[in-house]
Amino acid sequence: MKTRFSSLVTLNKSTMDKSERVLQKANADLNSASVALELSYNSLKKINSPKSGRMTDFRAQRTLLDSQRIVIKHNQKWVAFCKSQVLQAKEQLKSDMIEHEKFKYLEL
């Protein structure tokens, strides 16, 4: 039976579904950021410093270590950003679910 709230329930349902998709995408982004961070840590562990040799080899090694540390810092910031996006998406989904339930109750 259709009531005057039926269209609002449908609209809120679609908004809630959109929020769920946003949350799923945010979780996927967080997972990929975490994997990238883990890979950058593993790459840093694989870098061996030369024990002897020319000074240019030491400088090249130092530059390689510095660039890898920059990549790690970037990935850490990316993970932090993705975590905040997930939290925001969860809050939005929670709000949309409450709104949907309110209108669903009014429809009855």
Out of 10-14, 59-63, 82-86, the most confident range is 82-86
Q: Which tens digits make up the pLDDT trace of 2-41?
A: 777 788 888 889 999 999 999 999 999 999 999 999 999 9
Residue 42 counted as domain residue: yes
- Which range marks the domain in which residue 40 is found? 6-107
Phi, psi of 73 (to 5 degrees): -60, -40
Count of structural domains, the chain: 1
Is 1 a domain residue? no
3-state helix, strand, coil in the chain (%, to 5): 85, 0, 15
CA atoms within 13 Å, Cβ hemisphere of 88: 10
Does residue 49 lie within any of the structural domains? Answer: yes
At position 15, the amino acid (one-letter code) is T
- Over residues 93-104, the pLDDT tens digits come to 999 999 989 888
Looking at the predicted structure, is the pLDDT value of residue 1 above 80? no
Does residue 18 lie within any of the structural domains?
A: yes
Residue 57 lies in a domain: yes
Report the alpha-carbon angle 103-106-108, nearest 5: 120
